[in-house]
Structure 1
Amino acid sequence: MKTMSNTLSKYLNILTYVMIGLTAVFVIMFYLGGEIPNQAYTTPVYSDLLIRWATILFFATAALAIIFPIIQLIVNPKGAIKGLMGLVGLGLIILVSYGMSDATLLNLPGYAGADNNPDTLQFADTVLYTMYILGVGAIVAIVGTEIIRRLR
């Protein structure tokens, strides 16, 4: 089992480097590839390619984020409790963020778009508050870990 794990790890590392390399090439092409002539706005030639690559990476990441926990749940059912506790904690943070959010329409002179509606505004506030809470939590965890490490 160890050799299979090492072999899989080696292939995943190679795949990671290949994907990072492709991303770097696409970004360089995007910035240095020139612009499409006669456009109303500056439009890099390789915009579509970079957007497609980002979409592929997003869906691959989403699929792996779903598949690997299911495999881990099957292999180690006792470890699933910790994962479920993390999901419950994240759910509580989202609920608190939703409670803090505001759906009041914004006064935007000259804006006639459809995005200034209560649902969109409440969703945006919920996402922002969730990110604020998670960001502060990450900073506190990093600082706390360093303090505990120094005290030991």
Structure 2
Amino acid sequence: MSATLIPVSPPAVVLAAVQAAVEQTYTRFCGDKPTVESEMQADHDCECVAGIISFFGDAAISLAWVLDAAVAPVLAQKFARFPIPFDSSEMGDVTGELVNVIAGDVVAYLEARKFHVKMSLPTVARGARLRLMPDKGVSVSHVNYATRAGKFWLRLAAQVD
């Protein structure tokens, strides 16, 4: 089942690029395609790690890929090819690298469609009860995914003109 992100201020091409990149990255490393859950949530009451990256140019967008403590080590091991404990500093490194892979795919997808953006360096946050708070004038959209290994969430924030 493929889902469409809840529309926010960026053009539809940006929304399609982000969702495709997240789903392709997960599928590439874990082998199974994540499924979209119907219930959307903004805050996460579990232990999780988030890779956060921004795009600027034809649109101003921030993407957070939030992985729970069950799925993060599975994805990290598939990506790095060795076990990475959730509480290790290496988990922060691999989360940053994974969101960087997604961002590169987003930029390539958009460039092919003559929509120009550049990406920032990634930031990583980890904790329980993670709440990512937008500034005023920012529209936020969430998509929740389930996999055999656990859950992850996509958060897209866009500047509202």
Indicate the structure (1 or 2) with the bigger Cα radius of gyration: 1
The higher relative CO (CA closer than 8 Å, separation ≥ 6) is in 2
Q: Which structure dedicates a bigger proportion of its chain to helix?
A: 1
TM-score by shorter chain over 0.5: no
Shorter chain as normaliser: what TM range?
Answer: under 0.3
Give the structure-1-normalised TM-score: 0.26
